[in-house]
Amino acid sequence: MPSIPILMPQLGESIAEATVIRILVEPGRQIEAGSDLFEVETNKATMAVSAPCAGKIGQIVATPQTSYAVGATLASFEISEEDAQALGFSDSPKPSLSSHAGNAADVVENLHFQISDDDVISTRQPTVEPVVSGALPVPAGATGASYISPRMRARMLELGLNAADLAGVPGTGAGGRVTVEDFEAFLRALEQHRMTPASPMRIAVADSMRRSWTRPLATVGSPVMLDALLAHRRKADPKPGPALYVIRALALALAENTAVAGRLIGSRIVHPRAIDIGFAVEVEDGVMVPTLREVEKTPLAKLVMTYNKLVEQARARRLPSDVNRPGIATVTNFGTFGIVWATPIPLPEQNLVLGLGAGSKVPHWSDEVNQFIPVTEAELTLSFDHRVLDGGGAGRLLKRVADLLQRPEDL
């Protein structure tokens, strides 16, 4: 039977590697088409590598908790002649996974050309090795580095670090400059600390926030009454989550003025082509942001099932790649954690993030009855790129969202 390699697939547009979490099969096992063979983790989700057809598992070369580059061989797979031809593989003998031993007479035929053992350059498994093991604790009271010399940059590049990692290193050079000696002493001192490896999700979140903080960000807030929303939700079937009401209201508000969700590129504001809104879902050691597409065109009732499914997939870290792409803004319901007010940070690809705080009963003056009445109120916060939006525009956007939430039947 022909033997083909099971390769690490391309699991996303920007994914170059993935970590094998679990091996779900053993050598010699007969497998049906579509059966899961490996569970792998990227910095965005946990996914499965599946069998392209029926066959028998051969040699497994992947090991758990190891990162492999896209295209790396994970195992060999024995399949029928017909399936091999359908998949574009020749029925000629293939070199083994561990060696290319043989003589020049042994050839491997491809669809359009032939190669011999003499043409094989290397059989080293392409893998991605971490450059630094463990996290870097940051000492309190350190001013950090402002100027980084070429020698220091070379050392940081060697270790896979960036300027943000020097924020906690006290400098002894001129003007508080961090010298290479300071940095090396800091690294040696780390050995006295307990260190654990950061997960791919935590590293991805850290990198995203570091890139976001290169912009001038600001946050404004305003209270919003939730009584109309809660009354509508009690009667609705299926029931939308409070965050979904906010997502729909934000989409309608942005559709009226797309410039506030645009991105400043050079001297021009690039308007979004669609009102796609992401929402934050807490997962183990991080946050995932699935995206609802064209929210302004979809009524609230039709969004509920899609929203609930995406929440479940995000918590299992099994989001489809098409909903992993960022939208033009994000909604985060930090009120579920009892938080009243917060300053969430927009994703690097966005300039808006709208937050909903915890609701509580407060007195509200009613002109209709000429007295205070109890209402349920929460804080809406809007963090934004100040290059694109000013306080006045941000305030008007918040007011428009709050007004739309008072008429949930129109959402």
Q: What is the mean pLDDT of residues 218-229?
A: 92
Confidence of residue 355 (pLDDT cuts 50, 70, 90): very high
Kind and range of the H or E run holding 40 = strand 36-41
Helix (H, G, I), strand (E, B) or coil at 234: helix
What angle is formed at CA 392 by the lines to CA 391 and CA 397, rounded to 5 degrees?
A: 95
For the beta carbon of residue 141, count every other beta carbon within 10 angstroms.
6
DSSP designation for 296 = G
pTM over 0.85: no
Cα–Cα distance measured from residue 344 to residue 324, given in angstroms and rounded to the nearest whole number: 19
Q: What six digits make up the tokens of 328?
A: 């033009």
Which has the closest alpha carbon to 30: 8, 9, 63, 53? 53
Q: What is the mean pLDDT of residues 267-280?
A: 88
Type of residue numbered 258: T
Q: What is the dihedral of CA 313, 317, 320, 323, to 10 degrees?
A: 80
How do 352-356 and 329-332 pair as beta strands?
A: parallel
Which has the closest alpha carbon to 259: 247, 267, 269? 269
Q: Residue 329 burial by CB count (10 A; 0-12/13-18/19+): exposed, middle or buried?
A: buried
Residue-level pLDDT at 119: 41
Q: What six digits make up the tokens of 400?
A: 């428009």
- Domains of the chain, by residue range, sit at 3-119, 131-196, 203-410
Type of residue numbered 147: Y
Would the pLDDT of 106 be above 50?
no
* Residues 90 and 123: beta-carbon distance below 8 Å: no
Residue-level pLDDT at 324: 67
Query: Could you name the CATH architecture of 3-119?
Result: Beta Barrel (2.40)
Lowest mean pLDDT of 232-246, 262-276, 374-388, name the range: 262-276
Q: What is the mean pLDDT of residues 282-293?
A: 85
Cα–Cα distance measured from residue 354 to residue 351, given in angstroms and rounded to the nearest whole number: 10
Residue-level pLDDT at 145: 46
Confidence of residue 352 (pLDDT cuts 50, 70, 90): very high
For the beta carbon of residue 343, count every other beta carbon within 10 angstroms.
14
What angle is formed at CA 311 by the lines to CA 306 and CA 314, rounded to 5 degrees?
A: 120
Q: What is the mean pLDDT of residues 335-360?
A: 91
- Cα radius of gyration (the chain): 27
Would the pLDDT of 66 be above 60?
yes
Q: What is the mean pLDDT of residues 283-309?
A: 89
CATH of 203-410, one of 3.30.559.10, 1.10.10.60, 3.30.420.110, 3.40.980.10: 3.30.559.10
What angle is formed at CA 161 by the lines to CA 155 and CA 164, rounded to 5 degrees?
A: 120
Lowest mean pLDDT of 143-147, 160-164, 186-190, 290-294, name the range: 143-147
Residue-level pLDDT at 244: 94
CA 290 to chain centre: 9
Residue-level pLDDT at 103: 43
Percentage of residues in the chain having pLDDT higher than 90: 28
* Cα separations in angstroms, 158 against 60, 130, 151, 161: 32, 12, 11, 8
